[in-house]
Each structure stands twice: as C-alpha cells, then as structure tokens.
Amino acid sequence: MNYKFSIVTEDDLSTIKSQLLNFDTDIYHSIEWLLLNKDLQEGEIYCIFLEDEKNCAFFPLIKRKIKNTSFFDLITPYGYGGVAFKKNTDTTFRENIFELLRDCLSNTNCISVFLRLHPLLNNHIKESEFVFGNGVTLATKLNSSYPDLYNKYSSGHKYDLRKSKKNENISIVDDADFIFFDDFIEIYLETMRYLQASDFYYFDKEYFYKMKELLAEELKLVIVKLNEQVIGASLFMLHNNIIQYHLSGTTVEGRKYQPSKLILDYMIDWGVSQGYSFLHLGGGVGGQQDALYKFKKGFAADDYSFYTVRLITNKTAYKQLCLDLKFIESEIDNISNFFPLYRKA
C-alpha cells in the first residue's frame, strides 16, 4: 500500500488548523500548543502527517538539531501530544503507525523519535520493542451526575470538602477574566520551590502570558480565597471533550485548607454541567503510585496507561554518537532507560 508522508513547519501551521477538526485531538495537538512550547525543547516545529487512501495520523513534533552533525531528532512537545488519528481510522493502521513512521523517517537525517502518548486518545497501544509503559495517569469520567461522582470520592476527600464548604471564610472563584492570573503565577512558582521541583517547571512569566494569549478561551483559571487572600489556584485547559488539569499551586499558609480539593471538586461539577467527557488529572511524580497519585485517585478517577515510544531511525548514526560519548554497547542497546542516550551527556 502507498503511504503519503508530509512535513508541516511553523510557517505553514495555520493551513492545517481546519484539517485537524476531522481528527480526535486534545489541546496537545493544537497549533497553539506547539507555538507555546517549541522553545522548551530548544527546537523548531516539525509536524508529520502520515496517510493512505482513507486513514491519516498526525504527529505534533519538535525537531532538535544534534550539535556538530547534520542529523536531528524529534520529540513530542511538553505534554501528551503522541499521535492523533483522523476520525474513523482503521485499527490496523493505528496499530502499525510507529513502524510506518520509523520507515518513512529512515530516509531522512533523523536519528531518533521520542513520543509521549496520550493516555486517553492513544489507549489502544500495547507494549512492544519500542513502546514502553511509564505507569498510569488518572482521569475522572464525567458521564455521570455530579452527586453520583461525589459519592465515589474517597471518604477523606468528602470529609475535607464538607469541612471547607462549611467555612464561611473560604470561597471559590471561577476567574473568567483572569483577574488573579498574576497571583496564580506567584503561587505556582512558590509551590515549585516548596516541592523542590526540577528546573524545567520554573516557567518564566512571559511563558504564562503567552499561554494566556495563545490558548485564550481554552484556558480556565479557578482560585480559592481565604477571606481576601488567594491561597490556591489552578489552570485547566479545555479542548473538545477533555479538561486537562494543567498547573496548580497552594500557598504555604493555605496548605491546611487544601484548596486543590475544592478546585477539583468544583471542576468535576462544572465539567459535568458543560458536557465534557473527562477531567484528566495526570499521574503521580514520575508515573509512581505515590501520595500525589492517591490524592488524584480520590476524585472517582480511573487508571489509564501512559506509554512512550522510542524509535531509532538510523541505527548506525545513533550507535556512533553514543560510542563517541563513551557509552558502552549494553547501555546503547537498552532504550528503556534514558532516551535518546546521546542526549544524556
């Protein structure tokens, strides 16, 4: 069968916006998300369409040049971009898509591809020689009534929510006008410092302002106030039928009031009322079933497997790059750890 392989760079992004309306997508497949996040991976936008007569796959990617070579590699932007399929794409096409991508890229100067698959939209995937399980993420299905979902919360969450809702000094604000956006940014960064997060998560203010500008109506801010003081704030992203719990923060003083519980409870109620299908909460730190996982699990959430894809599209060049950096063959052959290995140096 003949396959058409086409590349879309930043200059032509606007031409594919209407095309993507025929695909099952989330915010991570949008051109706005690509424009927002291209600089986080220090590369350039390099989207791929792979199609036959009736099926089509879309890969939102960032192209990164490899220093002192003519080669490059490809990576999913921050988030769960993975691959999006045209509606009604055949199962066989979906199952073979990564081999097809590898074969197409083997004729280019691309050495490797690293994809972060979407836990809800790419849930047909199975582990293989290049598809790896990375734990689970959590999502609450919003296809029940809010009272039904609330009844499925953990007993601890219900107790804390009742206590907070009785406190007349605490209020939830659905901040449609982003009046408290700067407060959110400060609280988010304060929380990252408190958690001693890796450098990647300390986004600068310009990144947040650009997010607000690009995502516009697809971005939602909810805050919790104690009297007139903002003690917690969360950003959500809205696209098609999915709400993404994106970034969140709580002040040190506000921790005992657990504002994140109030916010997520509010968003489940809101999501049901607005006809959304899922509130995707993400997973624990590094995909682990830790305290963060248990916190999210308490909101009537189900587990969804999170996979990454690691393709070597030029084995000779990949191996030589790694050998030049003094990695041994057993390290090079083990793609389940850091990938691509030559970027570890």
Q: What is the pLDDT of residues 305-321, one digit of tens each?
A: 999 999 999 999 999 99
Average pLDDT over residues 248-274: 96
What burial class does residue 320 get, using C-beta atoms within 10 Å of its C-beta: 0-12 exposed, 13-18 middle, 19+ buried? middle
Check pLDDT > 70 for residue 1: no
Q: What is the spatial distance between Cα 84 and Cα 35, in angstroms, rounded to a whole number?
A: 17
Q: What is the radius of gyration, based on Cα positions, of the chain?
A: 21
Percent of the chain with pLDDT over 70: 99
For residues 271 and 146, the answer to whether their CB atoms sit within 8 Å is no
Alpha-carbon distance of 340 to 332, in angstroms, equals 9
Query: Over the stretch 12-34, which tens digit does the pLDDT of each residue have?
Result: 999 999 999 999 999 999 999 99
Band (pLDDT 50/70/90 cuts) for residue 242 is very high
What's the CA gap between 290 and 287, in Å, rounded?
9
| Torsion sign across C-alpha atoms 120, 123, 127, 130 | negative
Report strand pairing: 110-116 vs 72-75.
parallel
Measured distance CA(248)–CA(187) in Å, rounded: 8
Residues 6+ apart with CB under 8 A from 174: 220, 222, 266, 270
